[in-house]
Structure formats: structure tokens, C-alpha cells
Amino acid sequence: MKVQSMYLKSSLLILAAITLFSCKKEDNNTPQQPKLDAKSLNAYVAKLPSVKQREPFKERVVSSNTARTAALLDDYMPIAATKYYEQAKEYENQLLYADNEEAFFPGAMFKAKSVVDGTYNTIFAPRKPYTISVSLTGDKTSTTIKEAKLSAARDAISELLNKNFNAPPANITYDSYEVHDEQHLKVALGANYEGAINKVKGSVGFKYDTEKTRYIVKIEQVFYTIDVDQPEKPSDFFSDNFDYQNALGNEKPIYISSIKYGRVLLLGIESSLSKLEVESKINASFLSGKATVEAEAAYNELRKKSTITGRVYGGNAKLAGESIGDFAAIRKFLQEGATLGKDNLGVPLSYRMRELGSNQIFKTVIYSKYQKNNVGAIDNKKLDFDILAKRDNLVDKFNNKKRTLHYVINRTDEKGVTTRSSKLTYDHYYYAIRQRMVDFKKGESINIDVLIQQDKGGKIELTFPLPSFDDLVRAVMKKNEGHLYDLDKGADHGLRLRDTSGQYYLTIGIQNQKIR
């Protein structure tokens, strides 16, 4: 019995050893993912060219249909001439305005050509964990996205935002854009992604079959940004070996390096007023930065001859997705929910991209060909008028009055040659300046440079562009009598100009106008 028992134990031990050896052998035969050849990958990306884009250029005429005239009794009424224009504009940040776009998250990577054409084809490859951080202050501001997938990115961002952060007021910007037709919309807004363009189209509801002045007003409140730590080398983004020559494409890939989060109010304005009149009322109402009685009055004047529609994206449940039409709703937007909170985290507003390998900011060139309807044959006309400026009519975006030291009026001809006036200062009786402009014609532009005294010492020069020749002439043609902008009757009768920085406003008068 003892011999049999010993024999049985020996047999079991031998069987166990054989089984263990077989398992190890099977484990050794299991194919393993080959390690990433970082050196070869980095060398390959370094040799890839940047994606080619068209060169940016300013708006220019492509073609036009000659204006016609229709007889009306003994008079002739001008019929609109259709002109086609094109423009290619460079943008560093692009609009997104979405919270459900699966391709867009910090660290997402795309083939470069697809970014240029707006399709955004995602690059799928084995990725290393990477670090993101938030622009808020407080608890630890960074975390790790374990895998370059939307779900992992959402988990990491949610974990990050659940920490204790100081919640500063939103960074608010006010902008307006003229829109000529549906094709012009994307270059006016700076949106190359089709989803963002369609969202804006649905919000403003423009109808392009009638001759109207169309503007989009954007009031954006940015709560924070989520940023990706830039990789020192392309291989820092990848974990295992893969067919990178096929996956990355023939140009340096593009990745999302930063996304702004917050909320935005988009308003579409379709008006029978001229561009000049619409701009003036927009500047006095939406872009004044305050929901004052004066701002409401300017808005109501605009609304009398305009259709205004809009929508809020992001923010708390009270306002998110709400339709906006009257000034009370705009005031509510400005006053409520302008601060980050647990129930007010914001949505992705815009994104910035960088090129893999160089980490340079990728600026997308957006091209558009569009048409404008030019009412009346005004190309050969000339305009004379007075520019009137008075004391206390230059303010910052918070409506604080600024002390002006002198004015210089710059007139640039169609060849780009600029003529500057002398330094103009207020007279001691009317505290005003007046400058006569003669033979202002097509292709020329006028800017007013103003030197102001800053509150904490020092001086700064501001530049205020006047409306274009076309817009001024059309406004004068509509004016039956009196001054075009009669500043002598008060600032609310003047023309409100915005400086090139968007931070200051100057109200001027345009008087004694005459078309020749």
C-alpha cells in the first residue's frame, strides 16, 4: 500500500510539472504587441510636410452683373447689381458650440487634410496616457486622460471639475459679424466644422431670398479652458507600435491642444435698415456691455425694422437652449449664470489645434465665395461731409469717459497712400473739433486716431475706422433732410464707432453731407 501511495504521489507531481511547463510554454507562444520604435516614428513625422492651404487674402471681387434701371414714370429706379466676392481668412481658434460632438475632445488627433476640408477624420492609434489641466485656480489643476477616447476624456474632465476651484466671473466678449449669404457665414464666423455651421444656421434662421442687412451678434462668456500638455516628441503620444505611415497620412497630423468652455448667446438680425444704421444700433445696444436704459432704447429702435432671433448655448438649465428675442431675455443672460458652478459648467465653445512634431499653433484658412447685392450705381459718386467730435464722447467698454488729448484724421486712397491731418484739439468755446472731408470716393477709407490719457498715467492711441464709402453714400441717399448724424442734438443722435481693439467707443457727428 505504501509503495502504491508513493507511486500515486509521484505520478501526480510529474503530471503537475508537465501541466505547468505546458502552460508556461503556451504563455511564451502568445504573440506580444511589438514595442514602439520611437526613433523611427519621430524621424518619419519630422520628414512629413505641413498640410498645404491656400494663402489668406482680403475680400475681392470675382465677378459682377451690371446694375439695371427700371422706369418709374419720369424717374429711373436703380435695380440691385449682384457682385460675387471671395475671401480666405486665417483663424487660430474655431467655433464649436456643441456638447455632443464625439470627435472633439482635448488631445483628439486628426489627419491634416481632413481639418482643412472640414471633415475631421480621427486618427486611431495606440495612445499613451496624457495630462490635461484647467485654467481655474484652487485644488490640483491637472489630471490624466488614460486613453485617447471620448469616454475617457469625459471621465477625466468630470473628475477635474469636481475639485474645489475658485470661480471667477466669466471672461465676456462682444462681437458682431455682417453676413451676406449662406456661403459667407463660415468665413464671417470663423467656423470650418460643418456641425458648428449648421448649428448657427438653425439658430439665426436667415432667409437670403430678400435684400436685407444681416448681422450675427455673439456674446460669449468663457468660464475656463482645458489644455493638453504638449508632447516633446511625437512618440510621447503613442504607446505601442502601429502602421504609422498609413495611420498618420502624408502630412503632419493635427491635434486639439485647447478647448474653451462657457456659454454663448447668438443673435441673428435681419433688417431693412442700412448696414451703417444697423451697426450703429448694435454698438449702442448689444456691444455697449451694459443692459442700460439707453441700450434698451437702441435695441427697441432696431427691432422696429428688424427680425431678431437667437439662442443660448451652455450654462444652467434655466437659460440653456432658450430662445432669445426681446431685451429682457438679453438682460437675463447678462445678469444670470455668468459664473461657473456645479450646475453651470458650460459647453465647448471653441478649440485650438497644434501640429504634431512642431507643436506650432495650426491656423486654419477658411475660404468662401459669396454674393452681395449693391443697390444703386454709386461707384462713380463722391461725398463731402463734416466730421464732428465733442468732449466726453469717448468711453471704454464699461462706459467710463476718457480724456482725449488730440485727434488725427487719416485718409487712405485706393493706392494705399495715407494723408494725415494735423493734430486736432477742442476749441475753448464749443469743446469740439470739426474737419471737412471733400471728394471722398470709392476705394478710400478714413480712420480717426485719438490719443487719450490713461487713468494710471501714460498715454495710448486708439484707431476708429469710419464706415465704408458705400455704406456712407447709401445712408445719405436714404436721408431726406438734415444732418446724417446730428451730434449737436445729443450723443444718441451721433454715430457710435468702435476702435480696432474693441475696447473703446467714440460717438461722432456726420453733418452737412452732400453727394456729387
As a whole number of angstroms, the distance between CA 201 and CA 222 comes to: 22
Mean pLDDT across 212-221:
88
Question: Which of 293, 286, 279, 346 minimizes the C-alpha distance to 316?
Answer: 346
Q: Which residue has the higher pLDDT, 10 or 427?
A: 427
* CA trace torsion 469, 504, 180, 112 (10° rounding): 120
Q: How many residues does the chain have?
A: 516
Whether 498 and 403 map to the same domain: the answer is yes
Question: Which of 389, 419, 420, 388 minimizes the C-alpha distance to 405?
Answer: 389
Structural domain contains residue 269: yes
As a whole number of angstroms, the distance between CA 83 and CA 378 comes to: 14
Q: Please, which residues have CB within 8 angstroms of residue 367's CB and are 6 or more apart in sequence?
A: 54, 86, 87, 88, 187
**How far is CA 8 from its chain centroid?**
81
Whether 305 and 177 map to the same domain: the answer is yes
Q: What is the mean pLDDT of the chain?
A: 83
Structural domain contains residue 81: no
* CA trace torsion 27, 31, 36, 39 (10° rounding): 100
R_g (Cα) of the chain, nearest Å: 31
Question: Which of 231, 216, 328, 321 minimizes the C-alpha distance to 270?
Answer: 216
- 265: amino acid identity, one letter: L
Q: What are phi and psi of 376, to 5 degrees?
A: 90, 145
As a whole number of angstroms, the distance between CA 271 and CA 280 comes to: 13
* pTM to 2 decimal places: 0.68
Flag whether pLDDT at 5 surpasses 70. Answer: no
Start-to-end C-alpha separation, the chain? 130
Whether 505 and 488 map to the same domain: the answer is yes
Assign 107 a pLDDT band (cuts: 50, 70, 90). very high
As a whole number of angstroms, the distance between CA 504 and CA 499 comes to: 6
pLDDT in tens, 160-172: 988 888 877 778 8
Whether 391 and 362 map to the same domain: the answer is no
Which residue, 316, 343, 374, sits at the end of a domain?
Answer: 374
Is residue 472 within 8 Å of 383, Cβ to Cβ? yes
Structural domain contains residue 48: no
Whether 276 and 404 map to the same domain: the answer is no
- 435: amino acid identity, one letter: Q
Assign 346 a pLDDT band (cuts: 50, 70, 90). confident
As a whole number of angstroms, the distance between CA 85 and CA 64 comes to: 9
Whether 185 and 320 map to the same domain: the answer is yes
Question: Which of 485, 493, 487 minimizes the C-alpha distance to 284?
Answer: 493
pLDDT in tens, 361-384: 999 999 999 887 654 456 678 999
Kindly report the CA angle at 178 between 174 and 184, in degrees rounded to 5? 120
What's 386's domain CATH number?
A: 2.60.40
Mean pLDDT across 148-176:
87
Structural domain contains residue 227: yes
Whether 215 and 104 map to the same domain: the answer is yes
Whether 386 and 421 map to the same domain: the answer is yes
Residue 404's domain comprises 382-515
Whole-number Cα distances in Å, 18 to 5, 12, 13, 26, 151: 20, 10, 9, 12, 45
Residue 471 confidence (pLDDT)? 86
Flag whether pLDDT at 74 surpasses 80. Answer: no
Question: Which of 55, 52, 116 minimizes the C-alpha distance to 86?
Answer: 55
Q: Which long-range contacts (CB under 8 A, 24 or more apart) does 416-424 make?
A: none
Domains identified in the chain, total number: 2
Structural domain contains residue 24: no
Residue 467 confidence (pLDDT)? 94
As a whole number of angstroms, the distance between CA 340 and CA 346 comes to: 8
Structural domain contains residue 22: no
Structural domain contains residue 29: no
What are the DSSP E strand ranges found in 190-346?
Answer: 213-228, 254-271, 306-313, 323-324
pLDDT in tens, 14-65: 555 555 545 544 445 545 557 888 999 999 999 999 999 999 999 998 876 5
C-alpha cell at 4: 502504491
Whether 342 and 451 map to the same domain: the answer is no
Q: DSSP per residue over 92-103, as a string?
A: SEEE---S--TT
Structural domain contains residue 210: yes
Which residue, 350, 374, 398, sits at the end of a domain?
Answer: 374
Crossing angle of helices 327-335/293-304, nearest 10°?
Answer: 140
